Amino acid sequence: MRVQAIIKKLCTTLVTALLVALLCFSVMFYSPGNPAEKLLRYKDPTGGLNQKTVEMYAEKLGTNGDFFEQFGDWLAGILKGDFGISFKTGLPVLHEFTARAGCTISLMLLSTLLALVVGLALGILSTLYHNKILDKIIRFFVVFNMSVPSFWMALLLLWIFSIQFHLLPSFGFNGFSSLILPVTVLGLSYSSTIIRMTKSCLMDNLSSAYVVTARAKGLSESSIMIRHVLINIALPIITLCGTNMTSLLGGSVIIENIYGLPGLGNYLIMAIMVKDFPVILGFVFIFALFIMLINFLVDLTYTLIDPRVRMAMNEK
């Protein structure tokens, strides 16, 4: 990818990030409910509140200014790398994020890896045994897996492996064993789309002219599959993996709460309950940056894998 294309992509990303920041702040600012009042009631549910107390606390939090004043202060902090102070904990939002990001990132990467391995393996097997017993079993698995909600599957696996057989931890984070069930749920949930995409692309490519030519030259089926066909289906699979990674961040919110993992999803739910502005805005903004980063890496990977994409980018 040429330097001009990279600079253009980065400029587009920055403009998009600013628009996302404005939209996020607008939604939070105009949503019903006073953050100062919610926090005071959260800290002291039985205590009486008066308007003066709420106003004083709002001034302390910095939520008593108008829209442009608050947005300007928040955006200035973002540009300096300061996402503000959590209303609930009193700690810097960025510190809270970095303390919890490791669990969520591990969950996302392992789930993506599992989805990719299962998706490619079952997709290839389904293609090789097309319309046979194994293919029908895999197709049933895909339909069943796409029909069952991930939270239901999470509760089912929790009941089987934690409550009934006591094989795995049921709640909290105690090392790698605590990630096995969440990773299994998310990985299998997103493997179905990879299975379908893999089989569809393989069926199209196996009937292509270059595969017929390779067979005529005497190449083995395994050699044709590994050295030619799988490389040609890499682009749609990479695109799908990038899409799945962004979806996993949203899916991890539910799964982390079910298994009690100390990740970003669990932290976001607690912040929403008390309308913790800095945390919610920081999460959404970082989420948007993460999506744009994934898209940028996917585009970059395209140029490394497919010479046609690289030539098109150079011509532009």
**pLDDT tens by residue, 125-153:** 998 888 899 999 999 999 999 899 888 99
List CB contacts of 24: < 8 A, sequence separation 6 or more: 281, 284, 285, 288
Does the pLDDT value for residue 21 go beyond 60? Answer: yes
Does the pLDDT value for residue 4 go beyond 70? Answer: yes
How many Cβ atoms sit within 10 Å of the Cβ of residue 88?
Answer: 21
Does the pLDDT value for residue 3 go beyond 80? Answer: no
For the chain, give every domain's residue range: 1-88+277-316, 101-273
265 contacts 256 by C-beta, under 8 angstroms = yes
Q: What is the pLDDT of residue 180?
A: 92
Q: Enter the tokens of residue 75.
A: 């955006």
Does the pLDDT value for residue 1 go beyond 60? Answer: no
Phi/psi-derived region of residue 82, left when phi > 0, alpha when psi is between -120 and 50, beta in every other case: beta
Superfamily designation of domain 101-273: MetI-like (1.10.3720.10)
More confident residue, 122 or 28: 122
> Mean pLDDT in the chain?
83
Please tell me the distance from the alpha carbon of residue 91 to that of residue 289, in angstroms, as a whole number: 22
pLDDT-derived band at 312, boundaries 50, 70, 90:
low
The highest-confidence range among 34-43, 200-209, 305-314, by mean pLDDT, is 200-209
Q: What is the pLDDT of residue 18?
A: 81
Does the pLDDT value for residue 197 go beyond 70? Answer: yes
150 contacts 123 by C-beta, under 8 angstroms = no
Mean pLDDT of 44-66: 72
Residue type, 102: G
How many residues are present in the chain? 316
How many Cβ atoms sit within 10 Å of the Cβ of residue 22?
Answer: 12
Q: pLDDT tens digit string along 163-190? A: 998 888 888 888 888 999 999 999 999 9
Q: Residue 223: helix, strand or coil by DSSP?
A: helix
Q: Residue 242: helix, strand or coil by DSSP?
A: helix
Handedness of CA 300, 304, 308, 312 (dihedral sign): positive
Q: What is the pLDDT of residue 93?
A: 86
104 contacts 249 by C-beta, under 8 angstroms = yes
Least confident segment among 10-19, 46-55, 282-291, 296-305: 46-55
Q: What is the pLDDT of residue 155?
A: 92
* End-to-end Cα spacing for the chain: 10
